[in-house]
C-alpha cells in the first residue's frame, strides 16, 4: 500500500459512498478500472486495496 495514503483512502471511500449507484458491479477490479478511467484513482492502487476501501465504504 505504498501509494495509498490515509488521506487518499478516505477520499476514495467518500467518493465510493457518494457515487455507489453509478457502479453496475460490486467487483473491485471493475470499479477500480472505472475510477482510474475517471481520473479519481491512481492506476497503481491495487484491486486488493480497492477491495478494502469498498468494505470500509459499506461499513460506514
Q: What is the mean pLDDT of residues 42-52?
A: 93
What mean pLDDT is reported for the chain? 90
Our count of domains for the chain comes to 1
Q: Report the C-alpha gap between 21 and 43 in whole angstroms.
A: 22
3-class secondary structure, 56: helix
Q: For residue 52, give its domain range.
A: 6-59
Helices (H) and strands (E) in the chain, counts: 3, 0
In a domain, 19, yes or no: yes
The pLDDT-based confidence of 2 (bands split at 50, 70, 90) is low
The pLDDT-based confidence of 49 (bands split at 50, 70, 90) is very high
In a domain, 22, yes or no: yes
Report pTM.
0.85
In a domain, 40, yes or no: yes
In a domain, 1, yes or no: no
Amino acid at each position: 500500500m505504498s501509494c495509498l495514503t490515509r488521506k487518499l483512502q478516505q477520499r476514495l471511500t467518500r467518493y465510493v459512498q457518494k457515487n455507489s449507484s453509478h457502479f453496475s458491479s460490486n467487483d473491485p477490479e471493475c470499479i477500480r478500472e472505472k475510477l482510474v478511467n475517471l481520473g479519481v484513482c491512481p492506476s497503481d492502487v491495487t484491486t486488493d486495496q480497492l477491495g478494502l476501501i469498498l468494505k470500509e465504504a459499506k461499513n460506514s
